[in-house]
Structure 1
Amino acid sequence: MAATRQLWRLCPRLPLVFSQGYASAAAAETVKAPIKVFGIEGRYAHALFSAAAKQKSLDKVEKELNDFQFALSKDSKLEDFMRNPTLNKTRKDAALRGVLKEKKYSDLTVNLFGALAENNRLTKTQSVIKAYQTIMSAHRGEVPCTVTTAKPLAEKHTKELEKSLQNFTTKGQVLKLDVKVDPSIIGGMVVDFGDKFIDMSTQTKIKKIVQTLKVGMS
């Protein structure tokens, strides 16, 4: 219960609810996340991560959030309920708690939605879930890498690409490769790997050639 109370303390309710000293004491008790996520969604996600870490429920909370995210994508009525600004926040809180407890969600997840409802932040639900997923990905040592090609890669080439990119990770890191197709790049590929962005697309090469020709003709 102490960890769930901490979640409520750390989530941004009304700015002046707690004194500065109390807020500092609560912050000192937090479990530091492996990556910093900014914005309102980041504040909720970091508070949830800290509380879940103390209860050794990081994976359980992530599974529950993923489950709720899937429900949102499939249930338009639920999505409308979350976004409807005319509904009383207290009723929203009560309704959500009832549904989540019926699904046997943990108190941490239930209280997260309670905090979002109380602060009229339910429209931020998807962003908060994504922020928590980002933190958990870093917690597992995953390194996201997105490769975009003009045409689908053969399975053999995808494996070769993944093996090559794995060489750029450090010990303990796990490459999380996502291969996308975008015909507009014409050919080549675009690699977005951690803090690196490499554009080797034919589209960009053509743009550079055109710009060079314009400069030469001016």
Structure 2
Amino acid sequence: MSEVVYRRIRRSIILGEFPFGSSLSETELARKLAVSKTPVREALRRLAQEGLVVTTPHKGAVVASLTVEDLEEIYLMRSRLESLAARFAAERLTPEDAKALGAGVEALEVQTSAGDTGAIRQLNIRLHQLIWRASHTTRLTQVLMNLQDYVEMSRSALLWQPRGAEVLLEEHTSIVRAVLDRDPERAEQMIVRHIAHLLEVLRLDRRPGAGRGA
């Protein structure tokens, strides 16, 4: 039961159902999940150890916020690790990997044309994961999967920019094309450029007075 409660609360935080800084009441969570406070308390303790939750004596737990400095650290790590994964993917690509990546880009093209923001976001994540899988590096893939949680929490603002979805499609297509061409250097460069672009958009989105759709 404790593991189930932990995973459900964690998933809600990652998906943004509990926004940054929001209070996590043990009583309310226990009621919502139909459990006692004990597994909720244990889940919040584990989440605090992961840095997803901040607990304060006599005040309880809140969802941890990501500062600009946090984002820069996360995206620097992501750039270094994911560019390595892209290089390995280009070097170790199998026919099955190539088929999956090609299908992923085609699906992204369809949803970009349809303007389905939710589907676009999920397909963006899926394409990155397919590249990690194509790298055939178990430990590197696991580290990137763990880092993905924080990337999700940052809620990339690129989709809210003019032509944001189209830009994402262009960047992901360039990355996948480099991998399919078995060009490690270009694949690495395209990933670094893509992640640098995302970080720049996030920096702008976090400026005082900045807002989506502004």
TM-score, normalising length: structure 2: 0.23
Q: Greater strand share, 1 or 2? A: 1
Specify which structure has the bigger relative contact order, considering alpha-carbon pairs within 8 angstroms and separated by 6 or more residues.
2
Larger Rg: 1
What TM-score comes out, normalization by structure 1 length? 0.23
**Is the helix fraction higher in 1 or 2?**
2
